[in-house]
């Protein structure tokens, strides 16, 4: 019987697996799930992973639950899954060339059931809520967490409550959240204000919180890295690049790499994590620039509303991930984000603005020669192109934008049309 525990990374206090808490009750530190890695050495191997990968059906058809010994030991009957994960790892020579690289892969987490990486964490959070008999699940969101929560709660028959920053959530995400049936409360202010509210509701009303403060969320998101390493036939890349907001992914990726090395599935030298923030929402970047000596929350502003976060809750775990992997943190402007997104979309792969931020960050780190021309780079595309249609139409409606593809208005006869087509 594997010994899996929930512990506070700050004071070491342990909690039962069935505890529905999202922060340490002693010191308010971050909680994390500790697996019995010693017992798993020699059990979880590349051969074991390959056998699991080719199995179909529940639970090994899920790109999360096929790794359950490294995720969460919930009983199968508690698991709420939509066969999430199993996302493509694209190798694209055109995008590599645009970024100044020879080897670039894009891991597309927008191919998950609700269109973002959140589903990897949500299947675990909602399964935990289901297992312990929670009736109400809640989150604050800039759109993808609420869409994922609403979808998985609907599958589980749980009531969902989401708090979103008023007017700052892309329509694709808002429509999912409403359509899947979550009670959606618009809050004046930022995502950070909404998160403060939902943490109080969770504490005072005992509502189950599924933001990335919930340690089970990150256990699911670790499988992005497990899966990408397996897709690369365990030839670990030099870099893993991802856009950062609340820093759940940065934290999860560091833990995933550390566990893979402990289990002997990858070598001593870990891939370096590069977290990319939007210039107008870059508190982690400023903290990194201060050599992790000074943190200051920001009033966030960026076109990439998914990462419009000024006070990331996973700061301590994300710092640990950057230090563990000798990683870096950088930032990109909104112009760089949208121009990179246009290139990403034009490649036929596509992604929401936060995915554009990742690609823009890869190019920037290459230009700064922090990423070498021959380095092997995996860029995580965190959300689907359809999530933020407004940003696309706005960009392409301005012919001055690089790569703009404005609508053509046709008036008149067939001859006019033929003439028009010749001109364009
Ligand atoms: C599409 C997208 N990309 C990136 C991020 C940033 O991820 P994290 O909050 O784990 O840093 C988020 C959410 O925060 C997101 O929704
Ligand atoms: N971009 C996120 C913000 C919240 O992140 P979480 O990982 O802490 O839930 C969102 O889509 O809401």
Residue 248, pLDDT score: 98
Mutate to test the pocket of ligand 2, among 137, 140, 145 (most ligand atoms within 8 A of CB): 145
Question: Which residue has its alpha carbon closest to ligand 1 atom 9?
Answer: 246
Atom number in ligand 1 closest to CA 116? 1
Can you tell me the ipTM of this complex? Answer: 0.99
Could you say which ligand is closest to the alpha carbon of residue 381? 1
Q: Does ligand 1 have an atom closer than 6 angstroms to the CB of 248? A: yes
Say if strands 208-209 and 183-187 run parallel, antiparallel, or are unpaired: unpaired
Q: Does ligand 2 have an atom closer than 6 angstroms to the CB of 125? A: no
Residue 336, pLDDT score: 98
Give me the sheet containing 239-243, strands edge to edge.
89-91, 103-108, 376-381, 239-243, 272-278, 328-332
Residue 172 in 3-state DSSP?
helix
CA 203 – ligand 1 centroid, Å = 24
For residue 339, being part of any structural domain is answered with: yes
For 86, other C-beta atoms within 10 Å of its C-beta total 16
CA 306 – ligand 1 centroid, Å = 6
pLDDT in tens, 156-185: 999 999 999 999 999 999 999 999 999 999
Residue 269, pLDDT score: 97
Residues lower than pLDDT 50 in the chain: none
For residue 392, being part of any structural domain is answered with: yes
Q: Does ligand 1 have an atom closer than 6 angstroms to the CB of 220? A: no
For residue 385, being part of any structural domain is answered with: yes
Provide the CATH number for the domain around residue 245.
Answer: 3.40.50.1100
Atom number in ligand 1 closest to CA 246? 9
Inter-CA distances, 337 with 9, 12, 282, 328, Å: 34, 40, 14, 18
Mutate to test the pocket of ligand 2, among 109, 144, 172, 358 (most ligand atoms within 8 A of CB): 144
Domain span at 362: 89-115+216-396
Question: Which residue has its alpha carbon closest to ligand 2 atom 11?
Answer: 144
Residue 226, pLDDT score: 98
For residue 122, being part of any structural domain is answered with: no
153 contacts: CB under 8 Å, gap ≥ 6: 126, 137, 159, 160, 180, 181, 182
Alpha carbons 62 and 223: distance in angstroms, whole number: 10
Q: Does ligand 1 have an atom closer than 6 angstroms to the CB of 243? A: yes
Could you say which ligand is closest to the alpha carbon of residue 242? 1
Residue 411, pLDDT score: 76
Residue 250, pLDDT score: 99
Beta bridge partners of 106: 90, 379
Residue 419, pLDDT score: 87
Atom number in ligand 1 closest to CA 110? 1
For residue 53, being part of any structural domain is answered with: no
Residue 21, pLDDT score: 83
Residue 410, pLDDT score: 78
Nearest 5°: the CA angle 206, 172, 397 is 145
For residue 358, being part of any structural domain is answered with: yes
For residue 378, being part of any structural domain is answered with: yes
Beta bridge partners of 89: 107
Atom number in ligand 2 closest to CA 191? 3
Q: Does ligand 1 have an atom closer than 6 angstroms to the CB of 63? A: no
For 243, other C-beta atoms within 10 Å of its C-beta total 31
CA 118 – ligand 1 centroid, Å = 8
Dihedral sign computed on CA atoms, order 170, 172, 173, 174: positive
Question: Which residue has its alpha carbon closest to ligand 1 atom 14?
Answer: 245
Q: Does ligand 1 have an atom closer than 6 angstroms to the CB of 144? A: yes
For residue 170, being part of any structural domain is answered with: no
Q: How many domains does the chain have?
A: 1
């Amino acid at each position: 019987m594997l010994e899996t525990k929930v512990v506070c990374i700050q004071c070491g206090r342990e909690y039962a697996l069935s505890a529905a808490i999202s922060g340490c009750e002693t010191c308010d530190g971050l909680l994390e799930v500790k697996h019995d890695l010693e017992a798993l050495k020699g059990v979880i191997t590349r051969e074991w992973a390959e056998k699991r990968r080719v199995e179909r059906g529940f639970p090994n058809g899920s790109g999360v639950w096929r790794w359950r010994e490294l995720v969460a030991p919930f009983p199968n009957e508690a698991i709420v899954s939509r066969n999430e994960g199993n996302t493509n790892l694209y190798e694209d020579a055109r995008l590599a060339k645009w970024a100044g690289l020879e080897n670039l892969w894009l891991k597309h987490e927008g191919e998950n059931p609700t269109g973002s990486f959140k589903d990897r964490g949500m299947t675990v959070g909602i399964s935990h809520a289901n297992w312990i008999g929670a009736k109400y699940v809640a989150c604050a969101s800039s759109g993808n967490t609420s869409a994922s929560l609403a979808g998985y709660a609907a599958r589980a028959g749980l009531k969902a409550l989401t708090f979103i920053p008023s007017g700052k959530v892309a329509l694709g995400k808002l429509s999912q959240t409403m359509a899947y049936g979550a009670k959606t409360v618009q809050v004046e202010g930022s995502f950070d204000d909404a998160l403060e509210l939902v943490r109080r509701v969770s504490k005072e009303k005992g509502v189950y919180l599924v933001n990335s403060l919930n340690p089970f969320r990150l256990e699911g998101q670790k499988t992005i890295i497990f899966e990408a390493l397996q897709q690369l036939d365990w030839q670990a890349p030099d870099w893993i690049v991802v856009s950062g907001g609340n820093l759940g992914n940065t934290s999860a990726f560091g833990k995933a790499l550390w566990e893979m090395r402990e289990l002997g599935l990858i070598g001593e030298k870990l891939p370096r994590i590069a977290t990319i923030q939007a210039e107008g929402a870059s508190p982690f970047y400023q903290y990194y620039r201060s050599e992790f000596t000074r943190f200051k929350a920001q009033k966030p502003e960026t076109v990439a509303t998914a990462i419009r976060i000024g006070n990331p809750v996973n700061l301590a775990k994300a710092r640990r991930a950057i230090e563990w992997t000798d990683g870096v943190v950088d930032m990109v402007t909104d112009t760089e984000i949208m121009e990179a997104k246009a290139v990403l979309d034009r490649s036929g792969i596509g992604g929401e603005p936060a995915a554009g931020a990742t690609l823009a960050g890869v190019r920037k780190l290459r230009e700064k020669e922090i990423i070498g021309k021959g380095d092997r780079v995996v860029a995580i595309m965190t959300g689907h192109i359809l999530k933020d249609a407004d940003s696309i139409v706005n960009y392409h409606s301005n012919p001055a934008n690089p790569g703009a593809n404005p609508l053509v208005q046709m008036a008149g006869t067939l001859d006019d049309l033929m003439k028009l087509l010749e001109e364009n």
